[in-house]
Structure 1
């Protein structure tokens, strides 16, 4: 089997030049590039990751830590990251943190041990202090859907407070005043910020925040069904249901239909995230768009710009959510 050293010798160039050609580095002239490619073809050489990284001191791989592997939200996130990096000739190594501090730390340490050139982390349980300390290490870390002031130039985040505000504001503008709210786990920054937006919309329209119409769910379908059951069992009066994500909204809608509710006539529902199934629920789900695939691509671009020196990329650090109006929200007569 041919080696990178033989390619270098046959092409009459340095190992570093061979590596640059394999890494698609623009600093190599077309003439030199062709000499290297001809040598590789003549020798039947197929580059491997170790050879590619010899001269560049790069593994050409990026570690990605996400909370879960299942579900449409994380699928879109990983697809966006992987597509952007793959187009640039980089590969991803993926592990999970399961929203538990110890598992998130373990996942990060695993990725560091794999000599990744950088880490993209969607972390929810570890502290800001831990992330700040981690950022001072050898492996650059970039945060997705998480904002840490001290690391603001390494964060791609969504304005979740604005999203929560838009969701509740839309209910109020459709005439609803008795609005139940299903929050996500409050140790998660996105969930707590969405709740702040909900409260801002209520306050802006002189509506009180009703603790009886507040429930902390788990960001899963069960959280939505359990919450709606709680509200119904307590016989609380409400005409609208704002959910902190689409999975809980879908669970609540299923429970409502099973218990005789006509949607949206008896109960208007809005979610958050705009995952792919939101447009296939019955009725189709009004929701807040969380452009997670575009955010994933942007986080990958940030890595390409900062770590792989692709300085021509434009970076947007903060994304704005928007309202997606469908059929699950009706005017309150």
Structure 2
């Protein structure tokens, strides 16, 4: 790989002039810049971004902490964050936590050690108390898809309680009264909030959610499959199942198919997230969509504002709302068919 000294020798200028031509081209005359460009192209020179970052005290990099790399849910938020940061000339570097509190702490610290100017943190395992204490020493952090009252101005998130309410209201509007649910892990705030929202919507209709119709999953298809089988085996009357993720809904549909339960004729299935896979399932999955890419992009722009110490970032959206994407996995019991 060519060095800056070799570029300078090829162009017949000093290394300082090469540096100015690459980093501050407005202070270098056109003839000299042309010589440097020719040398760069001929030698295939690439500036050392790490060294440039150390010299300028700016890495122009934001770290992103997520649970898993093998999930479309996190992939969409990552894509949004990368888009937002790319639009302002910043790069991203990501680490996964393997869904453990220790992993969240380690990834958070690791990215700071790598000179990231800000961190976008998707944390499920760390409690609110732990986040509060850790945040005191890591104030250049943005929480993605989670709310914390102590630093609300650094949070970009979906209103999960309203998302759960929306799911319940939609199923009620279709005439369903015997409603089951497959939740995410009870230790995850979004699983608790969505369950709270569902309960509230049913309570508003004078219905109490039967504890026997609540199964705890893990947001993945394997537990969607297992929990759906448990609901079928329970012998309980149910007309609809609200799955707190599209991945679990996919597993639930597979369980119904294997057990000879027709969807939506026998049991309706409603998902959550709005992943692309929902469209390709059979039947096509009705789901509560959360705008994952938009949430990620807003988190990216807020992280940039934090990194550059911008005092005015009021135009960046913080709270997002879910919406129902209606397809064919939920039967309308009101039509009498």
> Scaled by the length of structure 2, what TM-score is found?
0.88
Give the distance between the partners of 2:29 and 2:317, measured in 1 at CA.
Answer: 36
Q: 2:27 aligns with which of 24, 29, 32?
A: 32
Give the distance between the partners of 2:138 and 2:239, measured in 1 at CA.
Answer: 53
- Counterpart of 1:10 in structure 2 is 17
CA offsets 1:41-69 (integer angstroms, 9 cap, x no match): 25525322124324431111111110000
- Counterpart of 1:316 in structure 2 is 317
Give the distance between the partners of 1:108 and 1:294, measured in 2 at CA.
Answer: 23
CA displacement at 1:256 relative to structure 2? 0.5
CA displacement at 1:282 relative to structure 2? 0.9
Give the distance between the partners of 2:85 and 2:35, measured in 1 at CA.
Answer: 27
Provide the aligned length of Structure 1 versus Structure 2: 321
Q: 1:7, 1:43 within 8 Å by CA — same for their partners in 2? A: no
- Counterpart of 1:41 in structure 2 is 37
Q: 2:249, 2:270 within 8 Å by CA — same for their partners in 1? A: yes
Give the distance between the partners of 1:241 and 1:202, measured in 2 at CA.
Answer: 13
- Say what the alpha-carbon RMSD is for the aligned residues: 2.5
- Counterpart of 1:119 in structure 2 is 119
Give the distance between the partners of 2:19 and 2:192, measured in 1 at CA.
Answer: 60
CA displacement at 1:133 relative to structure 2? 2.9
Q: 2:4, 2:18 within 8 Å by CA — same for their partners in 1? A: no
Give the distance between the partners of 1:306 and 1:298, measured in 2 at CA.
Answer: 12
- Counterpart of 1:294 in structure 2 is 294
Query: SS of 2:273's equivalent?
Result: coil
Give the distance between the partners of 1:298 and 1:201, measured in 2 at CA.
Answer: 29
- Counterpart of 1:26 in structure 2 is none
Q: 1:100, 1:125 within 8 Å by CA — same for their partners in 2? A: yes
Given the superposition, is the C-alpha separation of residues 75 and 11 from structure 1 closer, same or farther in structure 2, using an over 3 Å criterion? closer
Give the distance between the partners of 1:313 and 1:55, measured in 2 at CA.
Answer: 31
Q: 2:4, 2:15 within 8 Å by CA — same for their partners in 1? A: no
Divergent runs of 4+, >4 A? 3-8, 33-40, 309-313
Give the distance between the partners of 2:29 and 2:125, measured in 1 at CA.
Answer: 49
Query: SS of 1:248's equivalent?
Result: helix
Q: Which structure 2 segments of 5+ residues have no match?
A: none
CA offsets 1:186-206 (integer angstroms, 9 cap, x no match): 111111100011001100100
Give the distance between the partners of 1:99 and 1:143, measured in 2 at CA.
Answer: 16
Question: Is 1:109 the counterpart of 2:109 in the alignment?
Answer: yes
Query: SS of 1:272's equivalent?
Result: strand
- Counterpart of 1:272 in structure 2 is 272
Q: Which structure 1 segments of 5+ residues have no match?
A: 22-29
- Counterpart of 1:169 in structure 2 is 169
- Counterpart of 1:25 in structure 2 is none
Give the distance between the partners of 2:113 and 2:231, measured in 1 at CA.
Answer: 48
Give the distance between the partners of 1:151 and 1:320, measured in 2 at CA.
Answer: 20
Give the distance between the partners of 1:145 and 1:135, measured in 2 at CA.
Answer: 16
Q: 2:80, 2:294 within 8 Å by CA — same for their partners in 1? A: yes
Given the superposition, is the C-alpha separation of residues 55 and 236 from structure 1 closer, same or farther in structure 2, using an over 3 Å criterion? same
Given the superposition, is the C-alpha separation of residues 263 and 114 from structure 1 closer, same or farther in structure 2, using an over 3 Å criterion? same
Q: 1:163, 1:321 within 8 Å by CA — same for their partners in 2? A: yes
- Counterpart of 1:192 in structure 2 is 192
Q: 1:64, 1:119 within 8 Å by CA — same for their partners in 2? A: yes
> Scaled by the length of structure 1, what TM-score is found?
0.89
Q: 1:8, 1:18 within 8 Å by CA — same for their partners in 2? A: no
